[in-house]
Amino acid sequence: MATDLHTLTAPTFIRALTALSKILDKGRAFAAESGMPEQELLDARLIEDMGDLVSQVQRVSDSAKGCMVRLGEQENVVMEDNEASFDDLQARIAKTIDFVKSVPAEAINGREDAPVVLKFPNGEFTFTGRDYVLGFVLPNFYFHVTTAYDILRMKGVPIGKRDYLGGI
């Protein structure tokens, strides 16, 4: 039985990216209301060896668009990783959502057994399309969404599980 990879990816990415956008709006509002410089939130990290809030949003975006590029055999949408403000992060999220929406289901469905190769400086990993989505992309995507959420919570932003889940 085939796995509907598009249903497992595109709507999931769009929902979580939309929720992340709203969470960032709440972070910005919190900074304004509390007198906290926005940069304090943007530079915040859970621990020294983890990426800051900006980096987490960039990795969320990269996970979603990378999946669509690799599985759907699409041209990569280059993003420079030069975001420095909440506006920049919102623009990146919007661009990512637009790209995810542009990839037709037919480009992804049926690629459950197609090889997906990830190349890293210390080697490469080969997955089937299904294993790539279920064992790499979705866990990585949610790791970074969760970390962005956790950074804002740690800094006092009044967000909760419903915000994370997208208002469910």
Domain assignments of the chain as residue spans, ordered by start: 5-165
Residue 22 makes CB contacts below 8 A (sequence gap 6+) with 163, 166, 167
pLDDT per residue, tens digit, the chain (168 aa), is 567 999 999 999 999 999 999 999 999 999 999 999 999 999 999 999 999 999 999 999 999 999 999 999 999 999 999 999 999 999 999 999 999 999 999 999 999 999 999 999 999 999 999 999 999 999 999 999 999 999 999 999 999 999 999 866
Pick the CATH number of 5-165 from 1.20.120.450, 1.10.579.10, 3.40.718.10, 3.40.50.2020: 1.20.120.450
Task: Give the predicted TM-score (pTM) of the model.
Answer: 0.95
